[in-house]
Amino acid sequence: MKFDPSNKNDVDLLVDTIDAHIEDASIEMFEDGHRDHLGASLIGDSCSRKLWYLFRWVKPAKFESATRTQGQVLRLFNRGHREEPAIIKLLEKSGHRFLPVPEGQDQHRITLKCNGHLGGSLDAVGYLPEIFNFDDQVLYEFKTAGETQFRRLKKAGVKADKPLHWAQMCVYGKDKGIHHGLYLCVNKNTDEIYIEFLVLDWNLAETMEMKAEAIIEADEAPAKIAMSASHFVCKWCNFKDVCHYDEPVDVNCRSCKHSKAVENSQWKCKLADQVIPKDVVKLGCELHEGI
C-alpha cells in the first residue's frame, strides 16, 4: 500500500499503527519479566496470596488497568525512574549530600534476606544540609504521582495513603541501620512537590520480614483476602483468574508443587532432591504439577 495523506482511512491506519508499535516497543524496552526475589517494595501489600503468586511465578506480571494499557503503565514507571537523577541534583543544589552508589551496582541495595529471596533497592542514602546540624544518615525515597493520587497523599500522608511505600522504607531503614527517611513525591501534572520527614519503624520492618519469610517458605497459597472476584481488592488483580477461577499456572519450576525456595537465592526440586540450575528454573519439566 502507498500512504495517502489526503485519505482519512490511511491517516487513521497510520495513527493506529504507530500507537500499536509504541505499545509493543514499551513492553519490549521496559518489561523485565519475573523478579528472582520477592521485592521489599511490595511486601506491604495487604494480600499475601498475591505476593505468593508473584514470588512463585504463577503468571507474568501485567501492569494494565481498566483505563491504561500495559505499555502506558510501563512508560509511567520509567518516567518515575528518569525523575530520580533530576530530584537528586535539585537536592544537592540545596545542600543535601548523598553517598555514592557502591561500585559495580546501579543502585543502593539491601542485604538479601530470607535465604536470599527478599531484596530491594533504595533511591538514595545521604545527609541533610549542614544548616540543620543533623548528623544521622537519612534514607531518601522518590516517587511520582498523578493529580488525584498526589492530592490524596497530601491529605492523608505516607503511612495512611501509601502503606507499601511506608513498609518499604522501614525495611530498607532497618537493613541499613537508618532511623529517618525523607519521602519526596512529584506531581506529574503540575510538578508540585510533597515532602515528608519520617521516623522509620523498625518494628514494622521486622513484621514485614516475618511476613516475607512466611510467604517464601509456604508450600501452599495463603488464604484469599476475599471470596469474591468482584471484591475491590481482587477486581483488577493480575492473579484473579488463578485465585478465583482455577486458571492454569505458567509452566516453570517455581510454579511447580515439587519446588522449594532454599538458601543462597536458589530453588530445589523435591523429586530430584537437588538444586535446580538457574537457567532451568524458567523452563520447568514434563513432571510439572501446578501449585
Distance CA 230, CA 100 (A): 46
- Tell me the pLDDT tens digit for each residue of 150-165: 999 999 999 999 999 9
**CA proximity to 43, closest of 95, 91, 114, 97:** 114
Burial code (b: 16+ CB inside 10 Å, e: under 16) for 186-213 equals bbbeeeeebebebebbbebbebbbebbb
- Could you list the beta-strand ranges (E) of 138-232: 138-145, 180-187, 193-199
Q: Check residue 198 and give its pLDDT.
A: 98
Q: The C-alpha cell of 262 is what?
A: 532454599
Distance CA 270, CA 227 (A): 31
Q: Check residue 35 and give its pLDDT.
A: 82
Q: Check residue 205 and give its pLDDT.
A: 97
Q: List per-residue pLDDT tens for the chain, 291 residues long.
A: 787 888 888 888 878 888 888 887 877 776 666 888 999 999 999 999 999 999 999 997 665 455 677 777 777 776 767 789 999 999 999 999 999 998 888 889 888 889 999 999 999 999 999 999 999 999 999 999 999 999 999 999 999 999 999 999 999 999 999 999 999 999 999 999 999 999 999 999 999 999 999 999 999 999 999 999 999 999 989 999 999 999 999 999 999 999 999 999 999 999 999 999 999 999 999 999 999
**CA proximity to 150, closest of 194, 183, 182:** 194
Residue 121, strand partner residues: 109
Contacts of 244 (CB under 8 A, 6+ apart): 224, 228, 229, 234
Q: Check residue 31 and give its pLDDT.
A: 65
Distance CA 257, CA 285 (A): 12
Q: Are strands 180-187 and 138-145 parallel, antiparallel or unpaired?
A: parallel
Distance CA 174, CA 169 (A): 9
